[in-house]
């Protein structure tokens, strides 16, 4: 079966993907500095972002889902800004870093 340009418009798909990628980058900028540090360290260690959502768990919050469990032991965190939780619930996720400010932001794995 042959496909025409009408069936699969690659330019439209690229524009859509670019827009989604830009939106995700803008959402990541909303994370507090200590959470951006965690995310940077995880990516440098080989972890990857698989999803970025807005408005979970609070309105205007950001939730970042990583592809693997946390790789790095994040020791020098600002405890006034972020805290670690070991959830280990197969219905939700294994662990997370949560901001202590409102809106609550999450990095989950």
pTM over 0.85: no
Rounded to whole angstroms, the Cα distance separating 32 from 14 reads 30
Q: Is the pLDDT of residue 1 over 50?
A: no
The 10s digit of each residue's pLDDT in 13-67 is 666 667 777 788 888 889 999 999 999 999 999 999 999 999 999 999 999 999 9
């Amino acid at each position: 079966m042959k496909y025409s340009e009408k069936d699969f418009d690659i330019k439209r798909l690229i524009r859509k993907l670019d827009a989604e990628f830009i939106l995700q980058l803008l959402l990541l900028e909303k994370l507090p500095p200590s959470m951006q540090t965690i995310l940077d360290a995880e990516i440098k260690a080989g972890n990857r972002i698989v999803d970025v959502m807005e408005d979970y768990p609070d309105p205007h919050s950001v939730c970042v889902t990583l592809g693997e469990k946390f790789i790095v032991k994040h020791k020098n965190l600002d405890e006034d800004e972020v805290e670690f939780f070991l959830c280990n619930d197969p219905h939700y996720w294994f662990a997370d870093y949560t901001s202590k400010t409102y809106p609550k932001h999450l990095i989950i794995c």
